[in-house]
Structure 1
Amino acid sequence: MQLLALLACALLVPSLHGHPIRPRAQRNSGLLTLPVRRVERNTDLHVDLRHQQNINRAQRLVARAAGLPGPSDVELLQNLHRRAEFIPELERRFNIPQANAGLPTIETSGIAKLAVENDDDTSDNAPPKLANFSSVIEIDGADTSYVITVQIGTPARDFNLILDSGSGDLWVSSDQCTSENGSGCGNHTFLGSDVSSSFVNSRKKWSITYGSGFANGEIVNDTIVIAGMVMNDHTFGVAHSISSSFSGDTIADGLMGLSKSGLSTQGVPTPVEALRNLGFFKSAITSYRLPRLIDNENNGEVTFGGLDETKFDPSTRVDINASNSSFWIIPLEGVSVDGQSVAVNSTEALMDNGTTLLVVPTADAVALHSQIPGAKQQGSGQFSIPCDTTTNVSLRFGGRDFAIDPKDLVFASRGRKTGDCTSGIGSFDDDKWLVGDTFLKAVYFSTNVDANTVTLAKAI
C-alpha cells in the first residue's frame, strides 16, 4: 500500500528563458553552452521538514554509491515524523503522531495535518496552509533543481530536463505515461510516435530508482538537439510509469544523468559521451556554473566539451583524480572554519549537484558546527545557525581551500537576517561527505569522463 506523503510542492519558475545558446565559437571554440534555470520548489512545507527530505534523499544516494540497499519508504516517512516532533508549532497545533507508534497506526488525517504556518506569522492565530500529498523525498533536491531545455523529436519540441551528476540516464515521459497512483503523469511535454516522425521504439525495457522516486519504460531512438547540435537516432529512455514525485513536478519533463555511463541502467553512453563520440568536441567534459536565487542573476550555465573560463578564476583551478566508482567521488583533504582546521573523520566526498545540502557524517557535523559561532544542535540531531552568519567554512580539495559563501550556509532563509535558521549542513550516519549545492554554488564544478577527474575553481 502506497504511503501517504506529507505536503505538496508549489513551484516558482524563474523568469530566465530556456532556449539554448549556440556554441560560443569566439570565446570557447568547440564548446556547447546552455543556460541553467534554478527551479525553486519553495513549498508551504515547514523548512525543517524540507531539510529532512534532503537528508532522506542523501541516505538513499550514498547507499546506492556503496552498493547497499537504502532505507525504505517506511523508514524515510518515520524520519519525517521524528523531525516533526521537534517542531513546536506543529506539535502544539496539530498533535503530531509519535514516530514510534508505527506507521500502520498513523491516521491519514494526522499525516495530512502536517502543515506549515506562514513564515511571516507564527502566532497561534495564523491560519495553517493545509497539506496535499507529496513524496517523502522530493525530486532530486527537495528545495531546488537545475533545469535545461533541449529539443527532441521531429518536429522538434522543447523538453525541460533536470541536470543530475549523480545518475547516468536520459529519459522523458512517454505519451503512454501513467503515475504510480494510476493517474496521468501531470502537465508535461510527452514523447511518442504520434508526435515525432523520427521516433523509433526498440521495445527493450529499462527501469531506474533514484533517491527521490522511480521511472521505467522502454529504450527508444529519436533526434535530440543540444545547444544547436543535432544528435540523430540518439538512444535514450521514455518512461511509461513514473513516481508521483516526478508526475507532480510541473517543471521537468524528464532528467539528464551526467555521471559516468557505468550508472546507466539503459546501458548507453551519457549525453556528453554521445556528443563526444559524434565529434562535437574531443573530451566528455561537463561543466556547471550554478545560479543562486538571492543573487538575482540569471548567470547559471552548463557547458559540454570543456570549461568556460569566463565563469571562474583560473588561478584557483585544481584537477582532482576521481575514484573508480561511477559516481563522482574525490578525496576530501580537510575542513576549516574561519581559517582554523577542524578534525573530521571522513576522507571522501561524493559530488552531486542534484543534492541541495552539504550532508556529512554526524560526528563531523558536530565538530564542524561546534566551531560556528551561535550554532546549536537541535533535538532532532540537526543544527541551526544564526541567519546572519558570516562564518567562513572551507573544504580542501586538490590542495586548495574552497570557501562556502556564508549565505549558502543557511538553508531556505528567504532572506531572513534575524534569529536562528536551519543549517545548510545536514548530518547522517555514513562515512563520506555528500557535497551538494550548499558548496557547489560557490565553485565552478566540472567533470571529465575521459580523464576521470573533477575540476574545481572559484566561481565568478
Structure 2
Amino acid sequence: MWSFNFVLLALFALFQFSIAFYPFVPEWRRQSYKSLPDTSERSGKSRENNVVLKLFQTLPSTNKPRDVQIRELTDRLIRKYNPGTGLKATKVEERGSNLVKYDDTSLSIQTAATPSQTNSAGILQTGTDFSYFAQVELGSKNDPLLMLLDTGAGTSWVMGPDCTSSACKTRASFGAADSSTYKAVNMDLDIAYGSGHVTGTYATDTINFAGMSLPLTLGIANKTSDQFNSFPFSGILGLSQQTGPVPNFLQTVVSSKSLKANVFGMDLNRASDGTNTGEINFGAPDTSRYSGDLSYTSVAKNGPNHWALPLDKVGVGNTQLSTTGRLGYLDSGTSYIFGQPTDVIAFHALVPDAVTTDNNTWTVPCSTTTSISFTFSGVSYDVSSVDWVGPSVDGVCTSNVYAVAVVDTNSWLIGDTFFKNVYALFDVDQDRVGLAQKKAVTSSATSTSSSGGLTSTLTPTPTAQEPVDRTSTSIVDSTSVVLSGSGSTVTTSASEFLSNTHSLVSAVQTGTLNPLLPGASASPSAQSPGTTVSASSSVTATATQTSSGNQINKYSSLMTAFVIIATTLFF
C-alpha cells in the first residue's frame, strides 16, 4: 500500500511539473528572435555642438517561451520597485539588463527625422518596439554609449573598464582612461535587478545629449550578473525622480538651469508605422505631436519619487473597469503592461474569446482590432490593438496586459505598450505628467473604439492574497477551481502544487511574498456596449470559456481527471 501511495504521489508531482512546463507553455508562445550583434569595437564621432540623442529599440536575444520571458522580467521589475525589501527573487534573464559593445553599421536602424525643436533629438530604433535607447556622449572625449531611457529608475550607470563579468567583455565601457575630466567618487554602487546585482563605484564627469552638457555623477559598474547578456546597451539613464546617494539626472538638469522649464516629452514611434518620426523633447512639449491639449495629472503622494498617477479606469472597447484607488506607474523602461491581478482578470473577461490557463497571461484572437484605454484625471487614452495584441505565432496572439503585481498589490505598471499611443510630458517643476492622444498614424491595424464612447463601468472587489514561502518547492493550495463552460460548470477541489519555478509572486511593503494569482477573483463575461457589469468577490479562481475558442487544453483536462481519481484513492 505504501508503494502504491508513493507512485500516486510521484505521478501527481509529475503532473504539476508538466502543467508548469508543457501544457501551460503551448507552441504559440514561442518566438524566435534575431541575435543581437556582438562586436568588440565602439563607433561614433564626437560632436562639437549639440548632441543628437538617439533612441534605439531592440529585442532580447533569446529563444525562451514568451511566458518564461515575462516571468523572468517580472522578477527584475519587482526588485526594481522594491529595492529595500531584501527579498530573494528567482534567477531571471532580465529585460534591460545587458549592454553590448556595439557597431552601428551591424544593425539595421530606422533613421529618425531631424527634430525642428531645440533641445530635442530623433528617436531611432532597430524595428522591434521592445526597448528605447539614448545615444549619449560621456567625458572629455565625448565617448558615445547607448543607455536605456528609463522613467522608472533614478540611478544612472554604465559599465566600467574593470568589469570582468561576461556581459562587460562585449559591451562598451567608460572609465578614467577615457576622459581627462573623470573624477572618482568614494562611494559604492549596488543596484538589484531580479536575482542579479550591478555593483561598482561612482564617478563624476560630463554627459552630453540633446543640446545639454551636464556634470553628472553616475555609477561605474565593475560587476554585473549574467542576466546582462541579451541587450545592447551600456547602462541605464534614470529619468524618474527617485533619489539615491547622489543627485539623479533630473536633479542635475534642474540645478544646471539649462532649460526654461524642467520638463521632457516623449513620443515613441512604433516600427509598423513606417517613417520613423519619434523624438524626445526637453524644455517644452512639441505641440505638433498630439491632438488637443495636454491633460495634467499630479503625481500621487503615495507614489513618491516615481511617475505614479492615480488610475481612474481601464477599458476594453466601450466598457470600462473602475480602478479607483489604484496607481499607474509610467515606466518607459518596461515594454508591456502589468496590472493588479484582480483588475486584469476582470479586464480580460471583457475581451471576446480571451483564454487563460493561469490567470496571469491571456491569448486573444489575432483578428482583434478593439482598442483598450486608460483613464487619468477623467480623460481616457486609447491603446491600439497593434500594441496590446502581440504578434501571431502559429495563428495565436498574446495579450500584452499581464496579471502581475510588480510594484505592489494595488498598482499597475504601464510601459511602452501605452507610450506608443500618447505624447507624455513629464513635468519636474510641478510634479505632474501631461498626456495627450497622439495624432493618428497609419498602421497595420486600426482601433475600432474611441475613448469618448466608453460608458459602462465595472467595479471589481479587491481580494486578499495568502502569503507564500518563496523558498519552498511546492505549496498546497486548497482553493477550488471552477471552470465555466458553455452551459455547464465543473468544480474540482484537487490540491494544486505551486512550484516556485512557475508561480509568480509579488513583493509587498512588509517583505512578505504573495502569490500573484488572487485567492478570489471575478470573471464577468464580455458585455455589449452600454451595459453595466459588476464583479463580486468569490472564493473561487475562475476561468471563463466559450465554445468558440475559450477551451482549456484537452491534455490538461485529462490529467485533471486523473489527479482527482488518484487523490481520491490516496486519501
From 239, 256, 261, the counterpart of 2:221: 239
Change (3 A) 1:459 1:184: closer
The AA in structure 2 aligned to 1:156 is N
Q: Does 1:73 align with 2:89?
A: yes
Could you say which residue in structure 1 is the equivalent of 2:69? 50
From 329, 342, 346, the counterpart of 2:321: 342
Could you say which residue in structure 1 is the equivalent of 2:460? none
Q: Work out whether residues 22 and 33 of structure 1, in 8 Å CA contact, stay in contact via their aligned partners in 2.
A: no
SS at match of 2:62: coil
Could you say which residue in structure 2 is the equivalent of 1:285? 263
C-alpha separation in 2, matches of 1:22 and 1:372:
53
- How big is the shift at 1:62? 4.3
Could you say which residue in structure 1 is the equivalent of 2:299? 322
CA RMSD in angstroms comes to 3.1
The AA in structure 1 aligned to 2:169 is G
Q: Does 1:252 align with 2:229?
A: no
Change (3 A) 1:49 1:184: closer
Q: Work out whether residues 89 and 195 of structure 2, in 8 Å CA contact, stay in contact via their aligned partners in 1.
A: no
Counterparts of 1:146-185 in structure 2 under 5 Å?
A: 146-179=132-165, 183=166, 185=168
SS at match of 1:144: coil
Could you say which residue in structure 1 is the equivalent of 2:389? 410
From 95, 102, 125, the counterpart of 1:138: 95
- How big is the shift at 1:60? 3.3
C-alpha separation in 2, matches of 1:336 and 1:184:
41
Could you say which residue in structure 1 is the equivalent of 2:280? 302
- How big is the shift at 1:359? 0.8
- How big is the shift at 1:23? 9.6
Q: Deviations over 1:267-310 (max 9, x none)?
A: 2132x332332222033222211122332342332222221222
**Identity rate, percent:** 27
Structure 2, unpaired ranges of 5+:
1-30, 38-42, 99-127, 440-571
Q: Does 1:361 align with 2:324?
A: no
C-alpha separation in 2, matches of 1:391 and 1:21:
45
SS at match of 2:221: strand
The AA in structure 2 aligned to 1:148 is A
Could you say which residue in structure 2 is the equivalent of 1:373? 352
C-alpha separation in 2, matches of 1:308 and 1:212:
39
Q: Work out whether residues 20 and 227 of structure 1, in 8 Å CA contact, stay in contact via their aligned partners in 2.
A: no
Q: Deviations over 1:330-371 (max 9, x none)?
A: 011112221222244652111111111111122111111111
C-alpha separation in 1, matches of 2:200 and 2:288:
40
- How big is the shift at 1:58? 3.8
C-alpha separation in 2, matches of 1:447 and 1:401:
18
Change (3 A) 1:137 1:234: closer
> When the two structures are superposed, what TM-score results if normalisation uses the length of structure 1?
0.73
> When the two structures are superposed, what TM-score results if normalisation uses the length of structure 2?
0.59
Counterparts of 1:14-25 in structure 2 under 5 Å?
A: none
Counterparts of 1:198-237 in structure 2 under 5 Å?
A: 198-211=181-194, 213-231=196-214, 233-237=215-219
Q: Work out whether residues 400 and 417 of structure 2, in 8 Å CA contact, stay in contact via their aligned partners in 1.
A: yes
The AA in structure 2 aligned to 1:330 is L
C-alpha separation in 2, matches of 1:303 and 1:428:
32
Counterparts of 1:89-128 in structure 2 under 5 Å?
A: none
Q: Work out whether residues 33 and 301 of structure 1, in 8 Å CA contact, stay in contact via their aligned partners in 2.
A: no
Change (3 A) 1:290 1:362: same
The AA in structure 2 aligned to 1:245 is Q
Change (3 A) 1:456 1:22: farther
Higher Cα Rg: structure 1 or 2?
A: 2
- How big is the shift at 1:20? 10
The number of residue pairs the alignment matches comes to: 370
Could you say which residue in structure 2 is the equivalent of 1:99? none
